[in-house]
Structure formats: structure tokens, C-alpha cells
Amino acid sequence: MTKDIDLGVEVASWEQFKQLKKALIATGKFFPATEQQRFSFDSVMIDIVPFGAITDKNRQISWPPEHEIFMTMVGFKEAYEYSITVRLSSDPELDIKLPTLPGLALMKIISWKEKYPERKKDTEDLLLIMQKYEEAGNFDRLYDKEQDLLQEEKFDTRHAGIRLLGRDMTKIADPETLNIVKTILNSETEEQSQYKLVTDMIRGYLTFDRHFEEVLLQVEKLRKGIDEAGKK
């Protein structure tokens, strides 16, 4: 479950984004909040985040007018380019693009790192994607096309699915994004790590120690999938 809806909108300039906000407010259904990207629609909170040509050379946006608040857009381009189109309405026609799970996983890792320790929910979402990836249309794929991977994992479909997720993330990520994600995962799994990512994933579990070892192993499987795909 989520308390808000996140929308990424590709725009060329802040002026274009300003016009979009004006048009939404003019409908009488969208009400701006204190945060520049946030609106309320009935009882639903909506974050509208601009990306595309509006980003700087570091793939960040800085919110006007002071341009002192920065937000990374790393991963947005890949999530958009490899998105799936879903039709919400046929009359009138209304199509939206949704990120695939690999695209969403990329953004979750980067968002968590940028806003740590404020984005614990990102790690919970990432763990859910990892643990359910085998069930997201990939079970038959493991047995039909990835039997070597399945055998390596002794037919543990969850671990095989997590490695497959890592490989799929690598397929869509550009080199810079991939390097950022690999750096984060390497830092969060090395022996001298404080394991902030895993700790955030399982905070609240009563059997913390048992879950820690298993979830750390799963994050290592994700990193392994990314590494091995990058070598091909």
C-alpha cells in the first residue's frame, strides 16, 4: 500500500512545468501543497516530478526559485524508456506509462541512497520486488530460458529470481546509472559495511537476526546478478 501517487512528467523547462501546474489548479480539482511537487486530489496526495531536458549535467533538478533543493533523476530515463503502457480508460482513451519492476528497482535504490535515512519505505518496496520477482511473470522463464541459473541456485526460485532481476536491471540501465547502483550495493554488502540498506529493509521484524542473514544474502544475489550481466 502507498499513501500517495508519484508521477514523473517529461518537460523541457521550468516554464513548461509551471504551465502544467497552472492547468491542473485551474480545473478546481488539484490543490497545491507546501512542497512544490505535491498536490491533493480529493483525499489523495500526488507528487508530480519533472524530468528530461530540465535536468542538469549531473541528472539532477533544483527546485525554483532558490534552486537550493536538489533531487536526482538518475534512473528516470531508463524507467521511462522501458516502461509499459496501461490503458486506464477506453472512453475517453487514457493511457499511462508504468515502470517495469527492473526500472522501479533502479529508482528505489537511488532514491533510498539520496534521502537516507528518510526513505525506509523505498527499501521495503525493493525487498518486495526482489522476493516476488519470480512470481511476476518470470517463473516459467526461469525453467524455460534460465535453467543454468536455476541449477546454480539449486532450484531455489527466489534466489534465482533475484539474480534474474539484477540481470534485467543491467539490461535497461545506462553505464552511469549502473555504476551508481553497483557502487551502492557493493558498499552495502562488503564486510566493513554498516549494512544500512538491509537494516532498513527488515527494521521491525521480531526475528531480526534470522531475517538479517537471509536478506543480506538476497541483496548479495541482486548484486551478483548485476555483476554477471555486466560482464556479458
Model confidence pLDDT, tens digit, residues 108-143: 999 999 999 999 999 999 999 999 999 999 999 999
Over residues 204-232, the mean pLDDT reads: 87
Cα distance between residue 101 and residue 165, in whole Å: 8
Bigger pLDDT: 232 or 186? 186
For residue 32, whether the previous peptide bond is cis, meaning omega lies within 30 degrees of 0, is: no
In DSSP notation, 149-188 reads: HHHHTTT-HHHHHHHHHHHHHHHHS-HHHHHHHHHHHHHH
pTM score over 0.75: yes
- In the predicted model, is pLDDT for residue 206 greater than 70? no
Over residues 79-96, the mean pLDDT reads: 96
The confidence score (pLDDT) of residue 209 equals 74
Structure confidence by residue, pLDDT tens digits, 7-32: 999 999 999 999 999 999 999 999 99
The confidence score (pLDDT) of residue 135 equals 97
- In the predicted model, is pLDDT for residue 203 greater than 90? no
List Cα–Cα distances, 94 to 30, 88, 97, 103, 174, in angstroms. 18, 6, 10, 22, 30
- Whether 171 contacts 88, CB under 8 Å: no
Q: Among 37-46, 130-139, 208-217, which stretch is predicted with the lowest mean pLDDT?
A: 208-217
Cα distance between residue 82 and residue 164, in whole Å: 17
Q: Half-sphere exposure (CA, 13 Å, Cβ side) for 105? A: 32
User: What ranges do the domains of the chain cover?
Assistant: 4-73, 102-230
The confidence score (pLDDT) of residue 205 equals 74
- 144 is written with which cell numbers? 524455460
* Residue written as grid cell 537476526: 209
